[in-house]
Amino acid sequence: MENKRRDFLKTACAPVVFSMFGITMLEACSSGDDDDLVMDTANNGGDDDSSEGSSINIDLSSSDFSDVSEIGGWMNYTGGKMLLLRISETEIRAFSNVCPHAGANNQWSHADSKFVCGNHNRSFNDDCSGSGLQMTCYTTTIEGNTLTVTR
């Protein structure tokens, strides 16, 4: 809340001061901005992280998702632009189906805890671990037959 007010003041300050109070107040406003700039930059990074994310709900009882009904099953859910991987009764992992190497989205296979993109045969861990290029991982929850993926 405090940060948003600072952002507002930062962006609104100059025009408001010009139109209402004149040059003297503008100078005071500018020196305050310098102090706030460092904090705003740091806080905006945090805000961006929390404001990201749209959720999609998937009905796991649909036959369209029968491939992920059993542990180890996976599918390329192209309609949602994501790979789904059944880990356990209560967990399905979700990843962007856009290959981090060069963007192919339809040549995936899965074996030995790795997704392999057949475009250039690069492989990626299926738990979002490791270094270098990694798949984009999404947050998932399962309630009943509904899988919610937040990205």
Pairwise CA distance, residues 121 & 114, whole Å: 11
Report whether 71 contacts 92 (CB < 8 A).
no
Q: Which is nearer to ligand FES, 29 or 83 (CB)?
A: 83
Q: Pick from 27, 42, 120, 146: which binds ligand FES (CB under 6 A)?
A: 120
Q: Pick from 6, 10, 114, 122: which binds ligand FES (CB under 6 A)?
A: 122
Residue 32 parent element (H or E): helix 23-51
Query: Which residues have a Cβ under 8 Å from the Cβ of 98 and sit 6 or more positions away?
Result: 81, 104, 105, 136
Q: Is 83 in the site for ligand FES (CB under 6 A)?
A: no
Q: What is the 3-state secondary structure (H, E, C) of 78-143?
A: HHHCEEEEEEECCEEEEEECCCCCCCCCCCEEEECCEEEECCCCEEEECCCCCCCCCCCEEEEEEE
- Residues 44-73 close enough to bind ligand FES by CB under 6 A: none
Question: Pattern of binders to ligand FES over 85-104, x per CB under 6 A?
Answer: --------------x-xxxx
Q: Which is nearer to ligand FES, 78 or 146 (CB)?
A: 78
Least Å distance, CB 76 to ligand FES, is 13
| Options 18-26, 45-53, 78-86, 114-122: segment touching ligand FES (CB under 6 A) | 114-122
Q: Which is nearer to ligand FES, 22 or 103 (CB)?
A: 103
Residues in touch with ligand FES (CB under 6 A): 99, 101-104, 117, 119-120, 122
